[in-house]
Amino acid sequence: MSKSTIEGSEQRHTAIARLTLSSAEREELTGLVDEALTGPQALPVEHQLGRLAVLAHRLPERVRETLTEFRLTGRPYGGLVLAGLPLDESALGPTPASYSEVTDRPELHRATALLALLASLLGDPFSFLSQQKGQLFLDVFPVTQHENDQLGSSSAVELDWHNEDAFHEDRADWIMLLCLRNHDLVPTTFATTEALPLDAETVRTLFARRFVILPDESHTASFNQATTGVTDDAMQQLAFDLIADLNTGKHQIPILTGDPQAPMIRIDPAFMQRDLGDEEAERAQQVLIDTFARRMTDVPLTTGELLVVDNKRAVHGRRPFKARYDGTDRWLRRTNITADLRRTEGRRGGSHGRAVV
């Protein structure tokens, strides 16, 4: 069996690239966040995304260089950490225990502005109407009823590695995870598609439209009803209809696309059909899952650290941990970023116009 050109060593995948801001850069960033959140134009971040995209042109030069290089070349491959962002953990308030408990503290607006500014260097933040009412900036913290689920709000079980919203055609090109609090250094897990050691036949199979990924529970109408509630918005209903249709399992997709040397990936083992009635596809899928399982690395984020993930060339997950529900648990704020808002024109709603059906 011949080996494909994307074969390579797994030894390189041990650490993620980091850029740590200097104190002068932190000050520059603090000034920009102040400007975004004060003055006559001050509106909630969700309603001034255009203005924040303009302010992003004045982010510290090293940050602009790093994220522009990442956007244009995909390097560092799959993702990086920006460290030393200006966030005051003591001003955030306690980690919420439910979605209704997320407070309105000024420091949380600062976290959101930071995310929006940095996201604007890669593309544009967007959300899904089928998830938390299309909220653009989503909080990740443990919820007691979800302890053992395959959701970001679980804790007692490993959150299996995945691409974010892998089931969706319009899934994010990149995601940003900003750490607000993580006293226990609970690791986020991370791995890329760089130099996957796969044979040519397996690669060929993975490039074929022979696989099925079902939506995760957070996009269903029933989950929304139980957490953030649903609206009577007709577009939101369309979004839930789409989720229900995808849940039928009749849509076949390829797992790998693009350049075989640096393939884009669409994978979420916890929600993929294993019984495909196609032995070759089942074998290739399992080989790829086993390959990723061996190359996952741990990225323990702390307050003010931002993990940027190329959602089409890397996967992420989370190690299990013991949640305390006492206001000190791990807490991240995240957003989805698209390289091309235009592809979803006519299919977006929400008060900010960025929530995709």
Count of residues interacting with Fe ion (CB under 5 A):
1
Whether the CB-CB separation of 297 and 13 falls below 8 Å is answered with yes
Integer Cα distance of 197 and 224 in angstroms? 40
171 versus 348: smaller Cβ distance to Fe ion: 171
- Subset of 275-304 contacting Fe ion (CB under 5 A): none
Chain-centre distance of CA 226, in angstroms?
23
7 versus 160: smaller Cβ distance to Fe ion: 160
Which pair of structure tokens corresponds to residue 197? 């050691």
Residue given tokens 């949380």 in the structure block? 108
28 versus 164: smaller Cβ distance to Fe ion: 164
Smallest distance, Å, CB 162 to Fe ion? 6
Which pair of structure tokens corresponds to residue 293? 């399982």
Smallest distance, Å, CB 182 to Fe ion? 15
Q: What is the 3-state secondary structure (H, E, C) of 127-156?
A: EECCCHHHCCCEEECCCHHHCCCCCCCCCC
Smallest distance, Å, CB 58 to Fe ion? 30
Other C-beta atoms within 10 Å of 94: how many? Answer: 15
Smallest distance, Å, CB 326 to Fe ion? 24
Integer Cα distance of 177 and 85 in angstroms? 12
Smallest distance, Å, CB 30 to Fe ion? 29
Distances (CA, A) of 43 to 30, 104, 235: 18, 14, 25
Smallest distance, Å, CB 296 to Fe ion? 14
Smallest distance, Å, CB 159 to Fe ion? 7
Is 164 annotated to bind ligand? Answer: yes
Alpha helices per DSSP H over the chain:
23-37, 49-55, 61-73, 106-119, 200-206, 221-226, 234-246, 279-295
Mark 135-174 with x for binding to Fe ion (rule: CB under 5 A) and - for no binding. -----------------------------x----------
- Subset of 22-61 contacting Fe ion (CB under 5 A): none
Integer Cα distance of 354 and 46 in angstroms? 9
Smallest distance, Å, CB 203 to Fe ion? 25
Integer Cα distance of 314 and 70 in angstroms? 13
Other C-beta atoms within 10 Å of 138: how many? Answer: 20
| Residue with the CB atom nearest Fe ion in the bound state | 164
Q: Does 268 bind Fe ion (CB under 5 A)?
A: no
191 versus 284: smaller Cβ distance to Fe ion: 191
124 versus 164: smaller Cβ distance to Fe ion: 164
164 versus 305: smaller Cβ distance to Fe ion: 164
33 versus 177: smaller Cβ distance to Fe ion: 177
164 versus 194: smaller Cβ distance to Fe ion: 164
Which pair of structure tokens corresponds to residue 291? 């390959």
Count of residues in the chain: 357
Query: What region does 325 belong to: left with phi over 0, alpha with psi -120 to 50, or beta?
Result: left
- Cα dihedral value 179, 309, 352, 141, nearest 10: -30
Give residues in contact with Fe ion (CB under 5 A).
Answer: 164
Binding residues are 162, 164
Binding residues for Fe cation are 162, 164
